[in-house]
Amino acid sequence: MKPSSKKNKNLFFPYFLLFLQPVFMASNLIVARGGVEFVPPISLAFWRWTTVFLLLIPFFYKPILKKIKNFKGEFYKLFFLGLTGCGICGAFPFIAGQTTTVVNMAVIYTSSPIFIILLSSFIYKEKINSIQILGLVLCLFGVFSIISKGDSSILSSLEFTVGDIWMLGAAISWALYSVYLLNWKSKFDLLTRFVLIAMFGSISLFPFYLLEEFQGQSTVFDLNFLFWVIFAAISPAIIAFTLYAKVQKYLGASITGFTLYLFTVYGAFYGLVFFGETLEYYHLIGAFLVFIGIYLARKTNK
């Protein structure tokens, strides 16, 4: 998708949005580290997506009702997208935030494009060239550098930080979501489908939310709960998604992909400023390998 010549005359605004969008996208990591101190992780994820749905459905229920037959036909696809994009990717980072740092989560999550390439090749038989394979290897080394904290003995003894593994699971789930979101055609427009995906994300989280409650991690419905749920629903969900769609409309999908790189930078900044985290040498090495790996992995045969 190429931006129109009319839009090319004034690119300041769309490029401003390109740099602004990850500010909200990466704020999810603030929720993952700060919100879980007041709200259990699965509860936070469940109420977040429930709130997103409740806030948006008054504006989108009419187009949904008009295409109710399409809704029935796309039911299982929408449920899968809700499960992977909102359910797993909604809960796993919050669980990860209990035992790992914002910097770790930001860099590990940036490996998603690599898994997108692998899954696209496996599921839809898309070809991978030698440059992409090199990029894949470099990116995986970068991720393992972060997870192992630069200590190879941790890899050999499998002494990973639990939160890092949860975050890696979120990155893989986001890759699954992205691959099928791009390849599954829908009769609904982008924002209407997002509302339905949020609904199914909430539904997929509900039984695990109940299990969490019964296991003793009871949700306290106080002002802290209200603040973190609303913040999670508005900043990294509704605003981030809307801005992403805007940037894609102006600049096309390829350039918009750079938001993920900026996501890592802003995520690390949040960790340093709000949680007093420190940048270690293995973060720099891992981030460098991930960035180079993703750059090479995005290369295609000409």
Q: What is the pLDDT of residues 168-202, one digit of tens each?
A: 999 899 888 888 887 888 899 888 999 999 999 99
Number of H helices, E strands in the chain: 18, 0
For 264, counting Cβ atoms within 10 Å of its Cβ (0-12 exposed, 13-18 middle, 19+ buried), the class is buried
Decide if 161 contacts 150 (C-beta within 8 A): no
**Token match 């940036």: residue?**
110
| pLDDT of 266 over the 80 cut | no
Instruction: Give the pLDDT band of residue 100 (cuts 50, 70, 90).
Output: confident
What sign has the CA pseudo-torsion 48, 257, 79, 210?
negative
Q: What is the pLDDT of residues 11-33, one digit of tens each?
A: 678 878 888 888 898 888 888 88
| pLDDT of 117 over the 80 cut | no
Distance CA 33, CA 265 (A): 16
- DSSP annotation of 235 reads I
In this prediction, residues 88-97 reach a mean pLDDT of: 90
| pLDDT of 41 over the 90 cut | yes
**What is the pTM for the complete model shown?**
0.79
In this prediction, residues 35-51 reach a mean pLDDT of: 94
